[in-house]
Structure 1
Amino acid sequence: MAKSNQLTKEEKKLLRQMYWRSFTLYAAVTPAKQGASGVSYSMQPFLNTFYDDKESKRQAMKRQMGYFNTNIAFLPFLLGVTASMEKENAQRENFNEESISAVKASLMGPLAGIGDSLFWGVLRVIAASIALTLANAGNILAPIVFLLFFNVPVQFIRWYGGKIGYTLGNQYVSDLYESGMINVLTRAASIVGLVMVGAMTSDMVEFTLDWNMVVDGETVLESQEMLDQIFVGLIPLAVTLFCFWLLKKKGVSVNWLIVGVIVASILCAAAGIA
């Protein structure tokens, strides 16, 4: 792995800008993009440096506005990897641009799971237990101890994670490109990304059918139970695929899809369907 002292002065400056800008990840969250605007803002110094012509920069900015959601502690590492790939794309004429979004999408899910478990599930609990012990003893430093115990490790990982991600990406992305394995990586990353999207669909899209078959006042067939026997999550999957079809094939905007889903949900609830 390349060491941080091998970075140029300009690259170190860009990494510092990325670190401070990355605090804005969830400053402007939307249901369709989550932290995409924060990612785009954090990556802007790199894009301004790597791309000279407006069209290439525009395409890069568009790539960085894709859906993004991960743990804030590992964000700089992922941004560093992404920046190294953008640099490679700017320098190589036939670089596979799809690999940038694919790798980013495939990493954000696992890093979110690890980060949430490690920092929110473990470190925060330990910090809170220490602070509560001090608070019960009447120590006024309890909240300060909690903030320091939690934030110092997080910021340490954030600061060095960006450098590691960038230097790691610089070396291995170049090697993958030279060996022709970049296409294999892109394919694998795309598959992982699709798996993550599928998991998110199953976990986040909910629809319970309450429209049952009733005979003489007695329920003889529960529709939701019957559907679950055929395919668990069949209706949420169908709704998701229908929205995707409207978005990609019919050009319906995300805002209209959100409004449509809200209206349909209200109508289904009012009619007793779901």
Structure 2
Amino acid sequence: MSKITSKLSAAEKKILRQIYWRSFTLFSAVTPAKQGASGFEYSMLPVINHFYKNDDDKKAAMVRHMSYFNSNLAMSPFIMGVAASMEKQNAKSKDFNVESINAIKTSLMGPLSGIGDSLFWGVLRVIAAGIAVSLAQSGNWLAPIIFLLLFNVPVQLVRWYGGQLGYTLGSTYIEDLYKKDLINIMTKAASIVGLMMVGAMTSSMVKFSLKWNMVVNGKSILNAQSMLNQIFIGLLPLGITLLCFYLLKNKNISINWLILGTIVVAVGLALVGIV
């Protein structure tokens, strides 16, 4: 790791330290529509203020990083490091594909969430808790301290070095991609991965099941939800999600109105027994 970071300037090392400390605020202001976007944007401010000299460029970068972001906390600094390296390249190159920044962010969120959640929440936390519980049962007062150290020290090491690794590797490979004229292919591939992740999130997070059935002479002859599942499983959640995207993008409906409207419609349909 020291060989990688040795190539960084003093200013870049300072920026990465600022990103590390600011990244603790990632989920301090979570919203349903943006999740940790405000924390991500706050963490990226040192990068934006350092590399961009024009106020309009700074504003554009701030807006860019207010897009939806949700990933494992330990793995997030790596994504921030990659995004920081791309912002640096964007500030240097006039022909930089700005859309690639959010495309890469989105494509990394899902895989790194899976790795981070499995490794830190599923494995490390259980091991640390098992050791701490054994100590607690024997009356050792150091048990909670041991648990916190066993869990947090590896997490903080990954967070600290992950940001540096993401920044240095991002700078190296992005420059190579531009030299080889492969940046558009990378952006397209990242966008596809990102869309797959959003589709998976829609399937797992958006729930809508019909309770209405066709009844004749007191006997149910048609189960509406079962019939829809035979056509396309998750058809209604997908349709609702696409409708919300359409209203948000094409009709400029506020996110707050969409959330309120969804709640009102859901309560109304539940009251009449449709869902």
Alignment partner, residue 224 of structure 2: 223
1:179-228, Cα deviation, whole Å (9 max, x unpaired): 11100000000000000111111110001101100011111110000000
* 1:260 aligns to 2:261 (yes or no): yes
2:74 is equivalent to residue 70 of structure 1? no
* 1:47 corresponds to: 48
| CA–CA distance in structure 2, aligned partners of residues 191 and 167 of structure 1 | 25
Distance, in Å, in 2 between the alignment partners of 1:55 and 1:175 is 28
Which 5+ residue runs of structure 1 have no aligned equivalent?
none
Equivalent positions of 1:62-211 (< 5 A) are 62-211=63-212
Deviation digits for residues 126-155 of structure 1, max 9, x if unmatched?
A: 000000000000000000000000000000
Alpha-carbon separation, structure 2, partners of 1:132 and 1:42: 36
SS at structure 1 position matched to 2:6: helix
Once residues 208 and 6 of structure 1 are traced to their aligned partners in structure 2, the CA distance between those partners, rounded to angstroms, is 55
Structure 2: give runs of 5+ residues left out of the alignment.
none
Instruction: Tell me the TM-score normalised to structure 1 length.
Output: 0.99
SS in 2 for 1:3: helix
Partner Cα distance (1:7, 1:166) in 2: 9
Q: Equivalent residue of 1:69, what SS?
A: coil
Distance in 1 (alpha carbons) for counterparts of 2:161 and 2:235 = 44
**Distance between the aligned counterparts of 1:109 and 1:58, measured in 2?**
27
Which residue is equivalent to 1:273?
274
Q: Tell me the SS of whatever aligns to 2:215.
A: strand
Once superposed, what is the RMSD of the aligned Cα atoms? Answer: 0.8
- Secondary structure at the residue paired with 1:76? helix
In structure 2, C-alpha distance between the alignment counterparts of 1:28 and 1:251, rounded to whole Å: 24
Aligned amino acid, residue 272 of structure 1: G
State how far apart, in whole Å, the 2-side matches of 1:197 and 1:6 are: 36
Listed one character per residue, the Cα deviations across residues 102-132 of structure 1 (whole Å, up to 9, x for unaligned) are 0000001110011000000000000000000
Identity rate of aligned residues, in percent?
63
How many pairs align?
274
TM-score computed with the length of structure 2 as normaliser? 0.99
Q: In structure 2, give the amino acid aligned to 1:76.
A: P
